[in-house]
Amino acid sequence: MTISTAEAWHVNGIDFYVKATVPPAGIPTVAKLLYLHGFAEHVDRYSEQFEVLSSRGIEVFAFDQRGAGQTSREKKKWGMTDENMVFLDLEEIIRRKVGPEVVDDKTAIPWFMMGFSMGGGICLNYAIKGQHREWFAGYIATSPWVLLHPRTRPNPIVYQILLGISKAFPRFQYFTGLDFEFLSRDPALAQRVRDDPMCHATGTLKQMADTFDRGRKLLDNTYSSNFVNRAVLIIHGDADKIVSYDAAKDFFDSLQITDKTMITIEGGYHELHNEIEDDRKKFQAELTNWILEKSGAKADESLS
C-alpha cells in the first residue's frame, strides 16, 4: 500500500499545502515527480493517479498552488497570484525539495516535472526559463494550457476589455464560467467537481491574463527555442473542449529537441486522469511506462 503524507511549508509569506506519495515497502524508488495541478483545483483530486505511479516506484511530490486548494481556502484568497509569484513559489519549492539531491546538475534518482492544464503550461514554461531546469530529467504536460479551445475561449473583444481592466484591478475576482461537463466523459465527474468547494472555477483578472500570456508564449519559436535539452512527453485528448489540442500539437511540432513524444487519447476530454475507465487506464499506462523508460527502469506490462 502506498503512503501519502501532507504538511505545511512556509514559502514566500504563506503556508503551502504539500503532499508526498511514496512507494510501498518493498518497492524501490526509481524516479521522483514534482506535480503541478490545474486552474482552481487541488492535489487531493489526484489520489488514484499518484497511487498508480507510486506503486510502480515513482515517488510523487505535489502542492496546492498559491490562490488554490488548501493553500488558499478562504474565498478572498482565491486566484490571488500572478506570473511572478507562480515562478518565485515554484523555484523556492524546487530548491527546497530537489536541490539537496543535486550534484553537478544531476540527481541519483531522476526527477521529472509534470503539470496538468494550467500546470502543464507552467511546466513547459519552466523548461524554457526555469533557473534549475537542468535538474529535471524530463518534462510532462497533460492537456497543457497553450490556448483555450474555441468553445471555451473568450470573445477577442471581451478578452481585450478584461486585459485592460486587469491592469487597473488585478486582484478583481470573477467566476470563469468553466463548463464542468467538458472535463470528462464520465458523467459522475462533473457533479463531483460541483460538490467540491475547492473547485470553484474562480480566478483574478491578473491571474487569468498572465495564464493566457504564458500559453501564447509557447507558440513563439524564438522563446521556445530555449527549451532545455531534456525528454518531453505531452499527452492530450483530441476531443478536449477546455484547451486546444491543435495548439498543443503546434507547440510540440515546433519544439527543437529530439527526445519528444506526443500521445493522443482519441476521443479523450480534458481530465484524462478522470476519464472513462478504458481511456483512464491507457493514460496511466502511457504516463507510467514513459517515466520508467526514461528512468532506466523496466516498463510495467501489467498496465498495458
Q: Which residues are catalytic?
A: 117, 240, 270
- 113 has which bridge partners? 34, 139
CA–CA separation, 158 vs 14, rounded Å?
A: 33
Please, what sign has the CA dihedral across residues 179, 84, 130, 13?
negative
Provide the residue type at 124 as one letter: L
CA distances from 279 to 183, 186, 271 (A): 13, 11, 10
Residue ranges of the alpha helices (H) in the chain?
A: 47-55, 83-97, 118-129, 156-168, 187-194, 205-217, 221-224, 245-254, 277-294
Closest CA to 113 of 130, 89, 96: 130
Helix, strand, or coil (residue 23):
coil
Residue ranges of the alpha helices (H) in 28-82?
A: 47-55
Closest CA to 67 of 113, 17, 19: 17
